[in-house]
Amino acid sequence: TQNPAEIARIRNISTVQFGKYDLFPWYFSPYPEEFSQEDVVYICEFCLSYYGNLKSFTRHRHKCTLQHPPGNEIYRDDLISFYEIDGRRQRTWCRNLCLISKMFLDHKTLYYDVDPFLFYVMTCRDDKGCHLLGYFSKEKESADNYNVACILTLPQYQRKGYGRLLIQFSYELSKIEGKLGSPEKPLSDLGLLSYRQYWIENIVDLLLEYHDKDDRCSLDTIASKLAMTTQDVEHTLQAYKMQIYHKSEHKIIIPNSQLESHEKRKKKVRRFIDPDRIQWKPPV
């Protein structure tokens, strides 16, 4: 039996209290039906369990001992930690994560069958624990070589460069695996904007590097260096009008306008994933 709100896809939760933040969901998420009657849904920011009233939530917070996602820490720098969580081993936690994520994602419908996925969860550390910033999920075995199934930055942290870090991390994992990766389609509008930005920036960086060495850089070189599929490389070059056909040859160029926006972007970006700090081997 399907929840009527689900069929109509009406936003069913009005406010969520999560850690020290109030979140205002964008879309329907399949929390139990009675939760849509509550003014506020309280979510424990560590174990992600949800409560319809403050009293039971407070009681839970006194008992809950979790201070970071229930998996292995595979990356740590001065601020950020990444955890890898197996959907099969941490079914409830991962389902709860998907319920949160569905509030901000319209077109994905994964919430119950989390077993085939690994979850890469990005947190920031302070004296209280590791606070969830965002995550991406990844199929343990993807027939289409997708390196991301779902990606989310919690709304209170959006537009601060964390999405870019998540995307970079997903490609760093693909580089370690020696595979070319691509996010699962369709992308949301925000997903496409963020990926486009990541792709163009890294492609231009690489082209400039080759240009400095007086070397030519082919589509395939870009793809393998960045662990991107050649299709994503080609679409990006097309979108930014960076391919020309000259004397029966395809050439990649960087228009001046693109160089300028590249410079501007580089000035803004402060934080990167340091690949040397990733402690991870592809799961066997």
Tokens of 107: 């077109």
Report the catalytic residues: 184
- Contact by Cβ (8 Å): 12, 31: yes
* CA end-to-end distance (rounded Å), the chain: 38
The residue from 23, 41, 43, 44 that contacts Zn ion (CB under 5 A) is 44
Element containing residue 18 per DSSP (H, E): strand 15-18
Cis peptide before 186 (omega within 30 of 0): yes
Nearer to ligand ACO, 22 or 33 (CB): 22
What is the 8-class DSSP label of residue 161?
S
The residue from 148, 180, 222, 226 that contacts ligand ACO (CB under 6 A) is 148
> Applying CB under 6 A, does 203 fall inside the site for ligand ACO?
no
> Applying CB under 6 A, does 188 fall inside the site for ligand ACO?
yes
The residue from 162, 169, 199, 240 that contacts ligand ACO (CB under 6 A) is 162
Distance separating alpha carbons of residues 87 and 77, to the nearest angstrom: 25
> Applying CB under 5 A, does 64 fall inside the site for Zn ion?
yes
> Applying CB under 6 A, does 142 fall inside the site for ligand ACO?
no
Nearer to ligand ACO, 51 or 200 (CB): 200
Distance between alpha carbon 75 and the CA centroid of its chain, in Å? 15
Residue 188 interacting entry, from Zn ion, ligand ACO, none, C-beta within 5 to 8 Å by type: ligand ACO
Distance separating alpha carbons of residues 51 and 32, to the nearest angstrom: 10
List residues binding Zn ion (CB under 5 A): 44, 47, 64
The contact set with ligand ACO (CB under 6 A) reads 104-105, 148, 150-153, 158-164, 183-184, 187-188, 190-191, 193-194, 197, 268
